[in-house]
Amino acid sequence: MSKVQGGMKCVKYLLLVFNFIFWLSGSLVLAVGLWLRFDPDTANLLAENDAPEHFFIAVYILIGAGGVMMLVGFFGCFGAVRESQCLLGSFFACLLVIFGAEVAAGVFGFLNKDKIIQDVQNYYQSSMKNDNGTAIVTMYHNVLECCGSESSPSSGLCTAEGPVMDCNTAIEEFFNEKLFIIGYVGIGIAGIMIIGMIFSMVLCCAIRNSREVI
């Protein structure tokens, strides 16, 4: 009986430590999501009403996941302290739902990565052809330090002297970097959640076994 109680306390404290780390991770994910959403460069490139929104959809999923992680982390700590099978089961279910959402979001982002980049490139190209798009084109040139494209040169709107990067290439590199950040954060979240689900189930089983022994 003492071994069971000792093992349960060990798992309980491990779960408390995990949930604190999980809560901090949620704070970090939320901070990264807010940074990607309000990053001056990204916000400027996609500030117009007719700009593509696919990138921000992935960012909003990240922000939502971070907020839910913070809430679930607190929920898991409370369940571990109370040694409640119901709360721990609910904690496990929440982690499973978030994990499923993360996988779905990751698949969505991976499948739509090229589309996001192509939409932004098309938006830039259409702005170049639009007489009212001079301000948008100039903003892209300033932010990305590029000028025109192979199919649509716009030397008259270049802001730098000498050879500069093709804007289609600059857009691809810029958004690839941002999407990789989202991907890496998502992978980190998935790994943390798997550990949390294991701890919650182990503690839940330990609580049940200790009550059966008693």
Say what the pLDDT of residue 7 is. 62
Say what the pLDDT of residue 29 is. 81
Say what the pLDDT of residue 27 is. 86
Say what the pLDDT of residue 77 is. 76
Mark out the alpha helices in the chain (DSSP H runs): 2-38, 40-45, 54-82, 85-129, 134-144, 167-213
Say what the pLDDT of residue 214 is. 47
Q: What is the spatial distance between Cα 205 and Cα 101, in angstroms, rounded to a whole number?
A: 26
Say what the pLDDT of residue 1 is. 46
Q: What is the DSSP string of 40-72?
A: HHHHHHT-STTS--HHHHHHHHHHHHHHHHHHH
Say what the pLDDT of residue 44 is. 75
Q: What is the pTM of this model?
A: 0.69
Residues of the chain with pLDDT under 70: 1-8, 11, 48-50, 83, 105-106, 109, 131-133, 150-163, 209-214
